[in-house]
Chain A
Amino acid sequence: MHNLFILLQKEFRQIFRNPTILRLILMMPIIQLILIPFAADYEIKNISFSVVDLDHSDYARRLVEKMTATGYFRLVEYGTSYAQSLNTIGNSQTDIILTIPAGFERDLVREQQTTIHLAADAVNGVRAGLGTAYAAQIIADFNANIRSEWLTVPQYGQMPRIEVVSSSWYNPYFDYHLFMVPGILAILVTMVGSFMAALNIVAEKEAGTIEQLNVSPLKKHEFILGKLIPFWVLGLISITIGNIVAYTVFGIVPIGSYWTIYIFSAIYLLSVLGIGLLISTFADTQQQATLFSFFFMMVFILMGGLYTPIESMPTWAQWIASFNPPAYFIKVIRAVFIKGSTFTDLLPDFYKMIGFALVFNSLAILNYRKRSA
Chain B
Amino acid sequence: MPAISVNNIIKTYDKGNILALDKVSFDVQQGELFGLIGADGAGKTTLFRLLTTLLLPDSGTAQVLGFDTVKDFWAIRKIVGYMPGKFALYQDLSIIENLEFFATVFNTTIAQNYHLIEDIYVQIAPFKDRLAGKLSGGMKQKLALCCALIHEPKVLLLDEPTTGVDPVSRKEFWDMLDRLRARGITIVVSTPYMDEALRCDRIALIQKGRILDIDTVEGILAKYPKRLYAVRSENMFRLLSDLRQYSQTDTCFAFGEYLHLSLKNGEADAPATEAYLQSRQHAQLSFKPVAPTIEDAFIELMQAQ
Contact = CB atoms under 8 A, between A and B. Distances in A.
A binds B: yes
A198 B242 CA distance: 61
A358 B188 CA distance: 44
B90 A10 contact: yes
Given A18-B92, A212-B102, A217 B52 contact: no
Interface in B58-94: 73-74, 77-78, 80, 82, 84, 86-93
Given A6-B105, A13-B93, A372-B54, A207 B88 contact: yes
Contacts of B147: 212
Given A207-B88, A209-B88, A212-B88, A371 B101 contact: no
A208 B105 CA distance: 16
A308 interface: no
A372 B88 contact: no
Interface string B33-46: 00000000000000
B4 to A, nearest CB: 15
Contacts of B86: 208
Nearest to A17: B92
B107 A217 contact: yes
A217 B93 contact: no
B55 interface: yes
A116 B205 CA distance: 94
B74 A212 contact: no
B89 A209 contact: yes
A18 B131 CA distance: 12
B265 interface: no
Contacts of A10: 90, 93, 97, 101
B123 interface: no
B290 to A, nearest CB: 42
Given A211-B84, A213-B105, A372 B55 contact: yes
Contact of A209 (B53, B54, B90, B106): B90
A363 to B, nearest CB: 23
Interface string A1-37: 0110010001001100110000000000000000000
A12 to B, nearest CB: 12
Residue of A18, A212, A216 with most chain B CB atoms under a 10 A cut-off: A212
Interface string A31-48: 000000000000000000
A217 B74 CA distance: 6
A216 B77 contact: yes
Given A6-B101, A217-B105, A372-B55, A208 B84 contact: yes
Nearest to B55: A372
A10 B90 CA distance: 10
A95 B114 CA distance: 78
B104 interface: yes
Contact of B56 (A209, A216, A371): A371
B104 A3 contact: yes
A14 B131 CA distance: 11
A214 interface: yes
Contact of A217 (B82, B101, B106): B106
Contacts of B87: 208
Interface residues of B, number: 29
Question: How many A residues touch the partner, as a band?
Answer: 20 to 34
Contacts of B92: 14, 17-18
A287 to B, nearest CB: 18
A17 B55 CA distance: 33
Given A3-B105, A208-B86, A215 B74 contact: no
B137 to A, nearest CB: 16
B78 A217 contact: yes
Given A10-B97, A13-B97, A14-B93, A214 B105 contact: no
Given A3-B105, A6-B105, A217-B106, A211 B54 contact: yes
Contacts of A215: 52-54, 77, 80, 82
A2 B107 CA distance: 9
Contact of A218 (B91, B93, B105): B105
A208 B101 contact: no
Contact of A373 (B52, B56, B100, B101): B56
Interface in A196-228: 207-209, 211-218
Contacts of B54: 211, 214-215, 371-372
Contacts of B102: 212, 216
A173 B104 CA distance: 59
B60 to A, nearest CB: 15
Contacts of B78: 217
A263 to B, nearest CB: 33
A213 B147 CA distance: 12
A209 B84 CA distance: 10
Contact of A208 (B55, B88, B93, B106): B88
Given A6-B101, A371-B73, A373-B56, A216 B106 contact: yes
A195 to B, nearest CB: 19
Nearest 9 Cβ contacts at the A-B interface: A208-B88, A6-B104, A216-B105, A215-B52, A215-B82, A217-B77, A212-B88, A14-B92, A17-B92
Interface of B: 52-56, 73-74, 77-78, 80, 82, 84, 86-93, 97, 100-102, 104-107, 147
22 contacts: A2-B104, A3-B104, A3-B105, A6-B105, A10-B90, A13-B93, A14-B92, A14-B93, A18-B92, A207-B90, A208-B86, A212-B88, A212-B89, A212-B147, A215-B53, A215-B77, A216-B77, A216-B106, A218-B105, A371-B73, A372-B55, A372-B56
Given A207-B90, A211-B84, 9 more contacts: A3-B104, A10-B93, A18-B92, A208-B86, A212-B89, A213-B105, A215-B53, A217-B74, A217-B105
